[in-house]
Amino acid sequence: MFIGHYAPALIAAACPKAPRLGALFVAAQLVDFAFFGFVALGIEHARLVPGFTVMNALDLYDMRYTHSLAGTLLFALGWLAIARLAGSAWVTAMIGAAVVASHWFLDLLVHAPDLTIAGSGSRYGFALWNHPMIEMPLEIALTAAALGFYLVRTRPHGRAGILAPSILATALAFVQVINWAEPQPDRVIDPAPLAQSLLALAVFTALALLAAWTGRSRIPRLGPRLRTL
Ligand SMILES: [Zn+2]
């Protein structure tokens, strides 16, 4: 799951009390921000194994802190605490925390069994990455439906209100297609290349910035935003 992670962010952003869309894009990928940062620092580990799944070579064998259910929920709690300290209303902070937590459940659909409940023991994952004819339409449909919902529930604020979401949608489609088209390596690469982690962090950041621009250019139809993150 890549751009599909942004579906909960787009749906939540239609709520006037939600954090801004840029913040929600960070929330949706918060544990992957941490994961690729931890991999770069050698705290968590991944390697590339040709054919590990049909769709990619990611052998995510050590994600104990970021992608255990307990770890993800701790990230969500951390979001809640920081948002409250920053002055967000409870409901705003909780919407953001729920989007952080959604990451683990969407990963559960696609990952090979590599997700844990508390960092060790049984591993879970329904491995849709082995079924591209299911995974690809599902991810596209999920993201497109969420973006459509967001656009219907908000209205443009000036010309940017049309331009920004158009560029965001194009960027989401572009990075997903590049991600799917990336050829598998012909040998095991252990650890996964540092450049891959840095690229992932750069792409997540760029998408969050585009989402922030989009969020500023759209106004919820239900009324003024209340507290924002
Ligand atoms: Zn993830």
C-alpha 107 – ligand 1 centre gap (Å): 6
- The confidence band for 54, taking pLDDT boundaries of 50, 70 and 90, is very high
Rounded to the nearest angstrom, the distance between the alpha carbon of 37 and the centre of ligand 1 is 12
What is the CA(72)–ligand 1 centre distance, in A? 10
CB 229 within 8 A of CB 23: yes
The answer to whether the CB of 36 falls within 8 A of the CB of 201 is yes
Residue 25 lies in a domain: yes
SS (H, E, C) 139-207: HHHHHHHHHHHHHHHEEECCCHHHHHHHHHHHHHHHHHHHHHHCCCCCCCECCCCHHHHHHHHHHHHHH
Residue 24 reports pLDDT greater than 50: yes
Residue 51, phi then psi, degrees to nearest 5:
75, 10
Whether the Cβ atoms of residue 11 and residue 5 lie closer than 8 Å to each other:
no
Residue at 201 is within a domain: yes
> How far, in Å, is the centroid of ligand 1 from the Cα of 91?
25
**∠ CA 48-52-56 to the nearest 5 degrees?**
70
pLDDT, tens digit, for every residue of 133-157?
Answer: 999 999 999 999 999 999 999 999 9
Largest Cα separation within the chain, whole Å, is 55
Q: How far is the CA of 115 from the centre of ligand 1 (A)?
A: 9
Higher pLDDT, 203 or 229: 203
Average pLDDT over residues 9-14: 96
- Tell whether 64 is covered by a domain: yes
Ligand 1 centre to CA of 4 (Å) is 11
223 confidence band (pLDDT: 50, 70, 90): low
In this structure, which amino acid lies at residue 48? L
Question: pLDDT-based confidence at 221, cuts 50/70/90?
Answer: confident
Distance 162 CA to ligand 1 centre (A): 30
Structurally, the chain folds into a number of domains equal to: 1
| pLDDT-wise least confident of 32-36, 211-215, 221-225 | 221-225
Asked whether 192 and 47 are in contact (CB, 8 A), the reply is: yes
Closest C-alpha among 176, 177, 73, 59 to residue 123: 59
In angstroms, the CA 165 to CA 58 distance is: 31
**What is the whole-number distance in angstroms between the Cα of residue 85 and the centre of ligand 1?**
26
The rounded Å distance from CA 158 to ligand 1 centre is 35
Per-residue model confidence (pLDDT) at position 220: 87
Spatial contact of 115 and 108, defined as CB atoms under 8 Å apart: yes
Tens of pLDDT, residues 55-102 = 999 999 999 999 999 999 999 999 999 999 999 999 999 999 999 999
Does residue 225 belong to any structural domain of this protein?
no
Give the domain extent around 39. 3-220
The whole-number pLDDT of residue 1 equals 85
Query: Could you report the per-residue pLDDT of 153-209, keeping only the tens digit for each?
Result: 999 999 999 999 999 999 999 999 999 999 999 999 999 999 999 999 999 999 999
Give percent of the chain with pLDDT exceeding 90.
Answer: 95
In a domain, 229, yes or no: no
User: Does the pLDDT at position 127 exceed 50?
Assistant: yes
Cα 89 to its chain centre, rounded Å, is 23
Angle, CA of 140, 141 and 143, to the nearest 5°: 65
The reply to whether 52 falls in a domain is yes
Q: How far is ligand 1, taken at its centre, from the CA of residue 176, in Å? A: 15
Distance 27 CA to ligand 1 centre (A): 12
| Residue 121, CA distances (Å) to 13, 113, 114, 147, 160 in order | 36, 11, 10, 37, 49
